[in-house]
Structure 1
Amino acid sequence: MCGVLPIRKFILLFTIAFMFHVSLAQEGEVASLSQNNLQTYIVYVHKPEGLHSMQSESLHRWYQSLLPVTTASTEHQQQRLLYSYRHVVTGFAARLTGEEVKAMEKKEEVLSMGLHPEKGFWKKSNFDKGVIIGVMDTGVLPDHPSFRDEGMSPPPDRWKGRCDFKQTANRTFVCNKKIIGARSFQVYDNLLHSFSAQPVDEIGHGTHTASTAAGNFVRGANLYNNANGTASGVAPHAHFAIYQVCSLDECSSTDVLAGFDAAVEDGVDVISISMTSLNVGQLFEDSIALAAFSAMQRGIFVVCSAGNSGPSSNSAYNAAPWILTVGASTIDRNIIATARLGNGDEFDGESIFPPNSTKRLNSKLFPLVQPGINGQMLSQNCNNGSLKDINVKGKAVFCERGMEVSRLDQGKVVKAAGGAAMLLVNQEQKGFTTYTDPHVLPASHLSSAAGLNIR
C-alpha cells in the first residue's frame, strides 16, 4: 500500500549537530604549572612474571619502586606518582625531570614513555582532509572568515555537485576549496511566494552550525577582546556542501527531502542537520528518519541535533538508531565578571562587556540599589520603563532575572535610566545557570545563591 504524508514543519535548533572528536589533554601543558622543571609523563611497563595477579596496593608499591632514586623518599613518591593504572593499561603517570626520564628509559620493565605534547585524536588527525560534509540549514554567508580555503585541498574526484552562488548588486559570492557546493531548495513557500535561488544565510543559523562543524582555522578570534586565540570547527580541513532547506523560521519536509536527495547524489560523506520535526509519532512518519536511513544504507553518516528541550524525559529528538543524535551541555571555560562589594565580598558571574571599558570600574565603587523592594515587582525585574521613577543614575542596579524581558534588554533598561552597572541575579529556579552576554554596560550575571548573599 502507499500513502501521502502531509507536509510537516521543522524548527531550527541552536544545538550543535555534528560529531565530536575527543581530544586528549596535553600533559605538557598541565605539567608546565609544576616546579623544578617537572613534567607529567605516562610510563608504560610490562609486569615481571608472577606479578600479573597483584592487588591494587601491591601494584602501586611496585610502580613506586620503578621511580628513580632521586624520588625515592616516601613524601616525594606520593607527590610525584600521580596515577597507578590497573585496568586499561599497565603503567602509571608521574612527574619527572628530563634527567629522571633518561634514567627510567634504561629500566627493562619500561616499555615506553613520553610527554606526548602533540598527541591526541584531534591533533594527530589530518583535520578530516578530503571529507565532504553536507550541511542542511539556512544556507551560509560564504565570505565569513571560517569559510576561507587557506590550507585546503581541491575537492575529491567523487564530488558531483554544483555551486549556485552568483553575483548580486552589492557583492559577489563564489565557491572555493572550502565551500565546494551550494544549492537552495527554498524557491517557494507554502503561499507560493518566490525566494531567491541563492543559498545565502540571512539569519546566521546555518553559518553558525556549519562553522562549528568544519570552520577553517581563524586566527585572532575573540569576544570583545576576551578569549583571544585561534578558532576552528571540529573538522577544519573538511569540505562543505551547503543545502539551504530552511527559511527564516521553519523548514518544510518537502525541501528537506530534496536536500537529502541532492546530497546523496552529489557524493557527500556526512550529512549534518540542526533541526527537528514537530509532532512526529512513528519513525515512518518522520521525513528526517526516513531519508537518513536511505543515506545510511549508501554509506553516508547522518548526524542530527537532539533538540533544545530538556533535561527531562521524552525531550530528545532525532533519536532513530541509525542517526548519531548529538546534544550539547556546558563547556569547561567561563568569561568571568566579578562583582566586588564595599565590604570586600566578591561574587563571580559572567559577562563579555568589553574589558577595555570595564577597567575604568575596577577601582571605583558605586552605590548599589535594589528596585522593587517596596512591592514594585516590575521594577525589581528591570522591565521596560520600570525604572523611570527610580533614581538609579550613577548606581549599580540589582536586577532579578525575569522572563518578560531578555537579559540584554534588562541591561538596556538600566543604561537608559542612567545606571552605571548591573548585577543580574537569577531567581531560585534558575539556580547556577548563568550566561556570557554582550551587555551594553558593565554587568555580571550571578547565581541565585550569590543574589541571596548580596541581598
Structure 2
Amino acid sequence: MGHLADWCFKRFDQSFVGDSASLYKTVSTDGGSGSGSANVCSLDSNPLNASTSSSASGCVHCANASVASGSGSPGNGQWPSCMSDGLYTFDSSVTSLSSSSVLPSSPSCPPVPSGSPVGSAGPVIDEGVPESSSSVAVLPQPECVAEAPSAEPTSFPSVPVASSSDGPACESPGLVDVQVDLAPGPAPLSSSVVVDVSAVPACSVPSSHPMLTRSKLGIFKPKSYTAALVAEKVPDTIDQALQVPARKDAVMAEYNLVFHRTVTNVGSAVSTYKVIVKAPPGLVIQVQPSVLSFKSLGQKLSFAVTVGAEVGNSMISGALIWDDGVHQVYIVYMGDLPKGDVSISDLHIGMLQDVVPSAASDLLVYSYRRSFNGFAAKLTADEANKMKGKEGVVSVFLSQKKQLHTSRSWEFMGYNKKMKRSVIESDIIVGMLDTGIWPESESFNDTGFGPIPYRWKGTCQNLANFTCNKKIIGARYYLTDGENGPEDFISPRDAEGHGTHTSSIAAGGLVSHANLYGIARGTARGGVPSARIAVYKICWSEGCSDQDILAAFDDAIADGVDIISLSVGSVIPMDYFEDPIAIGAFHAMKNGILTSNSAGNGGPALASVTNLSPWSLSVAASTIDRKFVAKVQLGNGQIYEGATINIFDLEGKMYPFIYGGEAPNATIGPSASYYSRFCFPGSLNSTLVKGKIVFCEYFTDPEGVMQAGAAGAVFQETGYKDYQFSYPLPLSTVNMNDGRMILNYLNTTENPTATIFRTTQDNNQFAPFVVSFSSRGPNPITADILKPDLTAPGVDILAAWSEAASVSDSEGDTHTTKYNIISGTSMSCPHATGAAAYVKSFHPTWSPAAIRSALMTTAMPMTSNNNIDAEFAYGAGHINPLQAIDPGLVYDAGEIDYVKFLCGQGYTVTNIQLISGNSSSCSDDTNGTVWDLNYPSFALSSTPGKSVTRVFHRTVTNVGRGVSTYIAVINAPPGLIIQVQPSVLSFEHVGQTQSFVVTVAAELGNSIISGSLIWDDGDHKVKSPIVAYASILQ
C-alpha cells in the first residue's frame, strides 16, 4: 500500500529574491511500496518544515496527486522563467512515467534524451532523511503540454508527473524520461537511488530569481511538475548542506538566496580586503571568497553573498564590510574622565602616535572629553589590536552604522490636555538624538516660553537657514564619515522626517486641527509640551554612525539635558562596552540622566530586542484604540476593508480594474507574466495599465504600478495587519481571503471596475496589544534581566513632519505634509521619553533608576491572550504616566549597584575602575549576581525540561505616604512557586528603605511561565513581573 502524505508548506512571512533558487518538499522513505496520493499545497512557507498528519491541516486549496512509490531528496534544478501564472500545486490529472518511455512533448517542447535511474519505497514526510533512506524532490517544470504514454510500466517503479494544458507553452525541452538503473525485479525497500536532476530540463532561467511570495492560495491555474529522486548522506549543518549540489537549492529556498557582486578597486593599488560579516540572530550571511586581493587600480573582483533568514513580517538586516585594514573608524573607549589637570586631547594624540607615529592628528576623528574618555580614529585592524593592549583602554571596536527604529496616543493613556502638570516642566530639557528637526513646525513654536534655563551649556549650529528659539534651545549635527545623500541638509535641519516626528511626540507643543490630508484630525502634542528640546543630529540618509552617536552622548551629557531619547539600535546584540549606546547611557546614568531607547523593529522573532543595558529604558511598541482602513469597492457593489493610510480621494469614481498578471510587459522576457502578477517595477505593460486600478498578488513596492501610470492599486497582503503604511498613489491592502474574492471577480467579470476610498478611522477594540514588528525578548546579552522593560504607543502615530520629506518616503512621491502618521518602536520610545520627563518634572531629584521603576511598576497590566509572547513582548506592561508620578515605592539603583553587577558579569577590576573612574574593586564580597541587581522585574532561565530555583534580593524606597504598610500579593500560575520574606513592609517616613528576598522555583517547559509580585498599601499597587523560561539561547 502507498502512503498518504500532506505536502504542505507552513507560512513563510517574508519574500526572497536571488539567483538560482528553488523551493522543494522533502519526502523520506519508511520502507513501504506501491502508489499513494498526496495533498500538494501552495508554496506557502518554509519547505523544510513539514507536517506528518494524514490530512491537509493548515493548508489551502490542496490538489490531489497520485504519488508513486519512491524516495529521494531535493535536487539542484532551477525555477523556470516561463512558470508565469499559477498556483504552485500538482494538477489533479497526474500520470506516471514508465522506466522505458519518453513523454511526447508539446510542439514547442521537443523530447530529450533519457537515462536517469530511479528507485522505490513509500513516501513519508520528514525534515531530515536518514543515510539509509532517500527522499523525493518536487521540482517545478515548464508550462509544457505533455501526455502520458499508453504503455504500462515494467516491473520497475515509476515517478509521478503532473501535467496541465493551462498556461503558455515554453520553448524548451519537455518532461524528462526516467529510466531505472537497478537490477531487474522489484526494487529493494531501502535502495540508494540517484537521479541526475541536471538532466531534468527547465526553461531558460533568468539571471535573477523572481520574488517568491509569502503565500499562494488556490486561485490561480495549476502548474506542471515532475518528481526526481536522489539520495545522499544527510548533512549535519547548513554549511555542509550548501556544499551538496542535491541539497543546495532546498537550503537556499529556506535560507534565501545568492547575490553576485563585483567591486572596483579605487583605493591603494596593491591591497587585500578581508570580509567582516555582521549578522543578527535569524540571519545567515556567507561570502565567497572571503578575501579579495588587488594588484592595480581599477581592477575588478567578484564575490558571491549567500543570505538566508528566518524572519517575520518586519525587516531583519545585517552588514557586510570589506576591510583593507586602512579605511575603518575604530572607537577606543577609556571609561570615565581622568582626574586632575590632564589634557585629554593631548592624551589621545599621544596614544595614537604610539601606534601610528606619522600623521596621528590626521587620523583622529573625535576626541570624547566632555562627559567620558575615549576617541574615534582611523586605524588598521592591526593598529586597533595594538591599541587594545594599551594601558587605560577598556575596549576597542569598529564603528558601524545603526538603524532608525521607525495624536491620540496620549489620550489613550488617560493623559489629556487638562491633566495635572508641574510648574517646573518648562525647565526640563529633552535631548533628542535622531535625524534632526524641522524648526518651523508649529509643534516647536516658542510663544509663551520664558528664558532658557540658566544651567544650559549647549549651543545652536545656525547653518542652512536653521535657527533655534526658546523651545528648541540647542542643535548640533555630527557627520564625520561624509556619507550623506543629496537630499540631506548639512545642518541640524531634518530631511528625513523621523527626528521631527519623535521630537514632537516627546515634547511637542499643542497644535489644534493637526492632520494628514484630513486623516486623524485632532490636537497633536507631546508628553511634556512645555519642556525644552535639544537636538543632536546623528542620523542621515545613509544611517547613523557609532562614532557620531558617542560624540552626541558626550555633548548631550555635558550640555545639561535631563532625559536622552534615542530611537536607534544595533543590528546585532553587542557587549555593553562595545556598544556606543550602552556606553553613552552608562555615563548619562552617572550624571543623573535616563536614556530612553527603542527596543527595535525585529519582531515577532524572539531574542530580537536591542538596547539591552540595565541602566537604560528599553521600550516596545503597542497599539492604541484607533486603526485606519481604506475600503475597496468593486463594480458589483461588494466592499472590502483594506488596511492602508490612503491620503487620496477618488470621490467614489469607478476605474477600470485589471489583474497585474494579465498585463505583463513582454519586453522583459518569458517570465514577464510572473513578475507582473506581483507588480514589480518594469513588469507591467503601461498601455494596458495606464489609468486603471491594478490588483497585485503581493504586498510590494508601489514603484511598479506608479511607473506604469496606474490610477491606483490593490495589494494582496499575506503578513501581519496590525499597522499601516502610506503610499504615493491611491492604494489599499487586503487580506488573502478578500484577495481571492477580488481575483474571482476579475476573472469572471467582462469589464471589471473598482474604486479606493480615502482612509477613515475606526475603533481598535483589542488595544493595547504589542504590534508584530516590535522586538521581543528574551535578553540575548544578560538572559536574566527582562527586556523590553515596558511598552508604549508606537502604531499609526500622528506627529510633526519635515516639509522636505515626502509622506510615504517612496521614490517619486512629491506629496509633503506638516504632520504624518507612521509606526515603529521609534514612536514608542519618545512616548516613554515624554512620560519619563513628566515624572522628572514632579520629582527632579529622582535617579534614572527611580524614574524607570516608577514607569515599570505602575504600567497597565497586559495579558498573553492578545500577546502570545507575554512579558517577552510587553515587559512590565503598558506605560501609564499619570500613575507613575505617584508609584508608592521605587526600586532605586546607582552607579555602585551597576558596578557590582558588572563585577558579577566577569569584567576585570582594571576595566571596572576605568569605567567608573574610581578605585572600585571586584571581590567575592562585592561581586553581585544578576539576580541581586535592584531591578523592578524578576527573570530566571535554564535549559528546557529542568527545574530551576533562584533567590533575588531587592530593596525598595518609600516615596509615597510617610507612614505606610505594604503587604506582598503573589500571583503564581501552576509550575511557578514564589515566596517573599518578609511579606509585610512597614515604613515610618518618606525615603526609608526596606529590603526583602524573593525565592522563585519553576518547572521549565518550552514556554514562558509568568507571575507577579505586588506590594499593596491600599492606595498603591507596586507591581513587578516574575518570568521563568527555558532559554532559547543556550
TM over 0.5: yes
Aligned position for 1:95: none
Aligned position for 1:387: 684
Counterpart CA distance in 2 for 1:274 and 1:24 is 21
SS of 2:738's equivalent?
A: helix
Q: 2:421 aligns with which of 119, 125, 133?
A: 125
Asked whether the 8 Å contact 2:403–2:570 carries over to 1, the reply is: no
1:443 aligns with 2:736: no
Aligned position for 2:964: none
Greater mean alpha carbon deviation, residues 305-314 or residues 253-262: 253-262
1:412 counterpart letter in structure 2: M
SS of 1:327's equivalent?
A: strand
1:315 aligns with 2:706: no
Counterpart CA distance in 2 for 1:177 and 1:23 is 29
Counterpart CA distance in 1 for 2:413 and 2:450 is 26
Aligned position for 2:658: 369
Length-normalised TM-score, structure 2? 0.31
Cα deviation per residue 1:377-406 (whole Å; 9 max; x = unaligned)? 211112223221773455432112244xx1
Counterpart CA distance in 2 for 1:394 and 1:243 is 45
Shift of 1:264: 1.5
SS of 1:326's equivalent?
A: strand
1:359 counterpart letter in structure 2: E
SS of 1:359's equivalent?
A: coil
1:222 aligns with 2:511: no
Aligned position for 1:80: none
Asked whether the 8 Å contact 1:8–1:278 carries over to 2, the reply is: no
1:125–1:8: structure 2 CA closer, same or farther, 3 Å change rule?
Answer: same
Counterpart CA distance in 2 for 1:150 and 1:367 is 51
Asked whether the 8 Å contact 2:643–2:721 carries over to 1, the reply is: no
Shift of 1:21: 6.2
Aligned position for 2:506: 213
SS of 2:430's equivalent?
A: strand
Asked whether the 8 Å contact 2:511–2:523 carries over to 1, the reply is: yes
Aligned position for 2:405: 14
Asked whether the 8 Å contact 1:223–1:352 carries over to 2, the reply is: no
Cα deviation per residue 1:326-361 (whole Å; 9 max; x = unaligned)? 122344323322112334322111344445x42142
1:348–1:278: structure 2 CA closer, same or farther, 3 Å change rule?
Answer: closer
Counterpart CA distance in 1 for 2:704 and 2:449 is 44
Cα deviation per residue 1:199-250 (whole Å; 9 max; x = unaligned)? 2223333223222222222233221222222222232221111122334323
2:651 counterpart letter in structure 1: K
Aligned position for 2:887: none
SS of 1:372's equivalent?
A: helix
Counterpart CA distance in 2 for 1:368 and 1:354 is 20
Aligned position for 2:716: 425
Counterpart CA distance in 1 for 2:680 and 2:491 is 40
Aligned position for 1:144: 441
2:724 counterpart letter in structure 1: Y
2:471 counterpart letter in structure 1: K
Counterpart CA distance in 1 for 2:573 and 2:630 is 43
Alignment of 1:48-63 (within 5 A): none
Counterpart CA distance in 1 for 2:490 and 2:721 is 45
1:249 aligns with 2:542: yes
Cα deviation per residue 1:284-307 (whole Å; 9 max; x = unaligned)? 221211221121122111101112
Greater mean alpha carbon deviation, residues 328-337 or residues 222-231: 328-337
Give the fraction of aligned pairs with identical amino acids, expressed as a percent: 38
Shift of 1:270: 0.2
- Structure 1 residues without counterparts, runs of 5 or longer: 26-118
Asked whether the 8 Å contact 1:264–1:295 carries over to 2, the reply is: yes
1:347 aligns with 2:640: yes
Counterpart CA distance in 2 for 1:297 and 1:259 is 16
Alignment of 1:45-444 (within 5 A): 123-125=419-421, 128-166=425-463, 168=464, 172-186=465-479, 188-189=480-481, 198-355=491-648, 357-361=649-653, 364=654, 366-372=655-661, 376-388=673-685, 391-392=688-689, 395-403=692-700, 406=701, 408-413=702-707, 416=709, 419-426=710-717, 428=718, 430-433=719-722, 435-440=724-729, 442-444=730-732
Shift of 1:165: 1.4
Counterpart CA distance in 2 for 1:368 and 1:347 is 15
Counterpart CA distance in 2 for 1:134 and 1:145 is 19
Shift of 1:273: 0.8
1:390–1:280: structure 2 CA closer, same or farther, 3 Å change rule?
Answer: same
Asked whether the 8 Å contact 1:8–1:277 carries over to 2, the reply is: no
1:434–1:279: structure 2 CA closer, same or farther, 3 Å change rule?
Answer: closer
- Structure 2 residues without counterparts, runs of 5 or longer: 1-390, 665-670, 744-1034
Greater mean alpha carbon deviation, residues 387-396 or residues 230-239: 387-396
Asked whether the 8 Å contact 2:446–2:470 carries over to 1, the reply is: yes
Q: 1:452 aligns with which of 740, 747, 750?
A: 740
Aligned position for 2:167: none
Length-normalised TM-score, structure 1? 0.66
SS of 1:258's equivalent?
A: helix
Asked whether the 8 Å contact 1:134–1:240 carries over to 2, the reply is: yes
Shift of 1:175: 1.2
1:12 counterpart letter in structure 2: Q
1:398 counterpart letter in structure 2: F
Counterpart CA distance in 2 for 1:431 and 1:291 is 35
Greater strand share, structure number: 2
1:123 counterpart letter in structure 2: M
The alignment of Structure 1 onto Structure 2 pairs a total of residues equal to 339
Asked whether the 8 Å contact 1:164–1:197 carries over to 2, the reply is: no
Cα deviation per residue 1:62-105 (whole Å; 9 max; x = unaligned)? xxxxxxxxxxxxxxxxxxxxxxxxxxxxxxxxxxxxxxxxxxxx
Counterpart CA distance in 2 for 1:245 and 1:277 is 14
1:352–1:246: structure 2 CA closer, same or farther, 3 Å change rule?
Answer: closer
Asked whether the 8 Å contact 1:137–1:206 carries over to 2, the reply is: yes
Greater helix share, structure number: 1
Counterpart CA distance in 2 for 1:247 and 1:438 is 22
Asked whether the 8 Å contact 2:630–2:642 carries over to 1, the reply is: yes
Q: Structure with the greater relative contact order (CA < 8 A, sep ≥ 6): 1 or 2?
A: 1
SS of 2:660's equivalent?
A: coil
Counterpart CA distance in 2 for 1:422 and 1:191 is 35
Asked whether the 8 Å contact 2:699–2:715 carries over to 1, the reply is: no
Counterpart CA distance in 2 for 1:208 and 1:221 is 13
Please, what is the CA RMSD of the aligned residues? 3.2
1:124 counterpart letter in structure 2: K
1:432–1:256: structure 2 CA closer, same or farther, 3 Å change rule?
Answer: closer
Cα deviation per residue 1:234-286 (whole Å; 9 max; x = unaligned)? 32221111122334323333322221122112111100112113445321221
1:377–1:435: structure 2 CA closer, same or farther, 3 Å change rule?
Answer: farther
SS of 2:584's equivalent?
A: helix
Asked whether the 8 Å contact 2:569–2:600 carries over to 1, the reply is: yes
Asked whether the 8 Å contact 2:657–2:695 carries over to 1, the reply is: yes
Asked whether the 8 Å contact 1:245–1:259 carries over to 2, the reply is: yes
